[in-house]
Amino acid sequence: MLKGRYYRGFATGIPASAGRLAGFAKAFDMHVINPFRQASYVLSAHQLRQLPPDEGIEVAIAGRSNAGKSSAINVLTDQKSLARTSKTPGRTQQIVIFELDERRRIADLPGYGYAKVPHKLKAHWQQVMQRYFETRRCLRGVVLVMDIRHPLKPFDENMLAWCDAAGLPCHILLTKADKLKRGPAQATLLKVRKALPPGATAQVFSATRRTGLEDLIILLRQWYGYDDSPPGNGVGDSGGQVL
Ligand code: GDP
């Protein structure tokens, strides 16, 4: 009966974690609306001043090259090639902005850790990223994509430290979970969770199997404030389509 309907009424005002909401939705066989299907490409910035005005809500997606960031974005937005899944990782060093609506954006941060990027360029981007984290006021949180088989590399630790310093929530996607059996995947999740600073969370994910997609959407809906206000005033509009 409730199938296919969004559960805004239940979610509003409940100070529950995304995980509990996901469980709630599943228990009642309700489907989550995915507003990220509306994402469209806006621009690619080589410098911070090329970014859209620092207003509204931005969520950044970061990860080492080849971790599976583009695939995660494509699955999240249900668009096959919105973020390019590249065979030459780390080639493009730019911040790519996708828009959900005029006040909500995804910032696809440059893949980092790719050995073939010249040292000077790496150092430059390290600085740009640090400044982005320190100054971007509309930044609501960071989704940090890691290959579940190679979690918490030095670059990831760096990113976590920046989030921690900026007081930003960081949500880790342990992706390519389909490459591991359930037991080892859960063991890695527990290990990673134990190592995280306060304010950071983690989940397993697979772009190939869409594992964890619903949990991710529920968390991001909270970050973007889709569930904050009553229907019809424009800000809290659920938008998008059922997952
Ligand atoms: P990016 O460099 O972080 O954007 O990584 P991509 O999304 O381009 O993915 C790098 C490689 O990993 C590609 O060959 C993808 O097909 C593969 N990949 C990404 N996500 C998954 C996943 O969830 N499962 C599996 N098996 N492969 C994946």
What does the pLDDT look like over 87-106, one tens digit per residue?
555 556 789 999 999 999 99
Choose among 26, 61, 19: nearest CA to 218: 19
Chain CA centroid to CA 13, Å? 23
Say how many domains are in the chain: 1
What pLDDT, on the 0 to 100 scale, is given for residue 33?
86
Query: Does 129 reside within a domain?
Result: yes
What pLDDT, on the 0 to 100 scale, is given for residue 121?
78
**Please, which pLDDT band fits residue 85 given cuts at 50, 70 and 90?**
low
Query: Does 234 reside within a domain?
Result: no
Distance 205 CA to ligand 1 centre (A): 11
Task: Please indicate whether residue 88, judged by its CB atom, sits closer than 6 Å to ligand 1.
Answer: no
Q: Containing domain of residue 62, as a range?
A: 17-224
Name 206's bridge partners: 211
Tokens linked to 48: 């911070």
Distance 68 CA to ligand 1 centre (A): 4
pLDDT in tens, 12-50: 233 345 556 666 666 655 677 899 999 999 999 989 999
Query: Does 233 reside within a domain?
Result: no
Evaluate if residue 192 carries a pLDDT over 90. yes
The model's pTM is 0.85
CATH of the domain at 114: 3.40.50.300
Mean predicted confidence (pLDDT) in 135-153? 97
**Nearest residue (CA) to ligand 1, atom 19:** 68
Distance 70 CA to ligand 1 centre (A): 7
Query: Does 243 reside within a domain?
Result: no
Instruction: Judge whether 72 and 212 are in contact, CB under 8 Å.
Output: no
